[in-house]
Amino acid sequence: MSGSIFNEEYLIPDNMVGLVIGRGGEQIKRLQMESGCKIRIESESNGSPERACTLSGSQESIDEAKRMLDEVVKRGIDRQQGRSQGGYGNGNPGYQQQNRGGYQPRRFNNQYQQY
């Protein structure tokens, strides 16, 4: 079914929404352009620790958008953990860890679980 448009709901941690959107919307625009997937983030989490995103596009573009969203969220979690542990960094402490297979957030049904 090449060329079909799919819609899929995907959850990201509510405290990472600002990072996913980026300053002036630059990050989310880049994610959409590079993945080819339209990403719409719900305006409210309704008290939930996760925020729903609607991903629209081909299945391949949705899969790529999910991979890219996971990377952004992982970097944000790594950065938060570095600060909470008193670590110092080069402004992007999760980057090297990511390349070495560092911390991986646990996901169940597309929901992040933090320890």
Structure confidence by residue, pLDDT tens digits, 39-95: 999 998 888 999 999 999 999 999 999 999 999 999 999 998 887 665 554 444 443
Structure confidence by residue, pLDDT tens digits, 99-109: 334 444 555 55
Q: Where are the domains of the chain?
A: 6-97
Q: Which CATH number fits domain 6-97: 3.30.70.260, 3.30.1370.10, 3.30.56.10, 1.10.10.60?
A: 3.30.1370.10
Mean local confidence (pLDDT), 24-51: 95
Looking at this protein, which amino acid is placed at residue 3?
G
DSSP 58: -
Burial group, residue 106, by CB count within 10 angstroms (0-12, 13-18, 19+): exposed
| Pairing, β 6-13 against β 111-113 | unpaired
pTM given for the model: 0.69
